Chain A
């Protein structure tokens, strides 16, 4: 069995599973946020009316809650959702609620690793499609809707069809100025937004071994854009160190067997990778940055679970140091813990000196919620994950998806720019 199959076999109390098996997996961790939480509360209300008991959760210690999409509360409706969420966690005895304005908070997927909330080998489900991100820690991490999350909260388990696995092998390190974001955009361009549908996308090879945990998180994050059920990387000492430094204990790693099977293996040479953008209106609509259309950008947006981790912002700072932005540029660190490091290590000054607006952690304009949404005909380069019509605001706005390095270089020139071509 491969790593995903082994995790699912163990979670469903079976010796062995094969792709296509339908299982009920016991869940180790579950996450809701200020969008899926109120959605789950609505499901609970419906269930109550049907006479189903919703008085107690299966295990409130395994549940954690983020406030990220519409915070700091964007308007009255969002404010009411935050109150609803707070009442819910209080009533059900959920202690891990990361509230904005009360210390550490941030984007749910970022907290999953920053706070070591999910461990290798665990089954982790969340009420958000980018839950896939956390598979970079060697866990089975999968996004679900409100009804499914409500089911997990009450029963501690959920059904899955065991997925086929696509294996993406990266031979050798990515060149300087090429980031994990470029690699995953390249993959999505190759296999399409449906290419991983219902499947596992696993990453391995010497290039992945060389990668930081945060870069692996970027890869797994955007397996969602290929339609995958989960993204995963076999955990190594880097993952153990990363989690241990954030307070995790009792880490036990699950690995695939030597004779693990994969539906298909794709091989990439690290040295051949280039900076990539995904043009409007799909993450699969890719171009090498040096061949991208010469458009006048209105904005550079550096944020989200995909592109505002510490490593991402460090890359941005390298470009912006001693330079000024030519177009509106926003940076929204993905969590308070990252924000603090950005401040302590002098990145904040670099950003402000460059002219950037630095905002609070939030999903913000990535999903068109608030904090810099796009007007009609505005063109944005963004470190986020999707560029469907209207994703970041007006349906006639345009988003180019890129790595943090490319978004920063483009902020400096006002055009889509390969960081290697900056003076």
Chain B
């Protein structure tokens, strides 16, 4: 999975900036995408491209349970969010709804990867290649159930053992 990075070098990117509360009444996925990241980066919509990744710090997606958050990012074209850690509801919404991959990274990747870098992510071997900088980083492997739900394509397609 290849894509370019949009980097937000900060912790605690919360659901209120990913998709502000006034849009909670909206359930049209394309319209939600128009307002993704509006609370932090009003230029996000114009710069994001299909297949891009977001890179950020700790506790990404903290705050509300709104599934609007991963939906708005996913329908903007974001395929994965790489972060030092994730808030729990954002994480499970992303996985159970099969909207995007929440990938936990280590400090080396966070500090080394720059805005615009092209990455190639292989979740089978837990590896992130930085094609721009010619470097490789480890991603934290998914837990067993998360791996299985991702492989199935979301919670509704997952068959518990």
Contacts and interface: CB of A to CB of B under 8 A. Distances in A.
A369 interface: yes
Nearest to B94: A145
A52 B145 contact: no
B64 A129 contact: yes
Given A147-B67, A148-B92, A229-B88, A77 B26 contact: yes
A389 B62 contact: no
A373 B16 CA distance: 14
Interface stretch (B17-25, B104-112, B124-132): B17-25
Contacts of B12: 193-194, 282, 388
B65 A127 contact: yes
Contacts of B154: 147
B59 A36 contact: no
Interface string A129-171: 1010000000000011111100100000001010000000000
Interface residues of B, number: 37
Contacts of A77: 25-26
A268 interface: no
Contact of A390 (B17, B58, B89, B97): B17
B25 A70 contact: yes
B85 A148 contact: no
Interface string B1-45: 000000000001010110011101111000000000001100000
A369 B26 CA distance: 12
Contact of B87 (A34, A47, A197, A391): A197
Determine chain B's interface SS by DSSP, over half rule: loop
A74 B24 CA distance: 12
B66 interface: yes
Given A151-B156, A227-B88, A368-B21, A143 B65 contact: yes
Given A147-B156, A368-B21, A388 B93 contact: no
Interface in A113-132: 127-129, 131
Nearest to B155: A151
Chain A CB within 10 A, most for which of B21, B58, B62, B156: B21
The 9 A-B pairs with the shortest beta carbon distances in the complex, nearest first, are: A368-B21, A145-B93, A147-B97, A145-B67, A367-B21, A129-B65, A146-B67, A194-B59, A390-B39
Given A145-B92, A147-B155, A282-B12, 18 more contacts: A22-B145, A36-B65, A43-B97, A75-B25, A77-B25, A77-B26, A145-B66, A146-B67, A147-B154, A148-B92, A148-B96, A161-B145, A227-B59, A367-B21, A369-B24, A389-B39, A391-B21, A395-B17
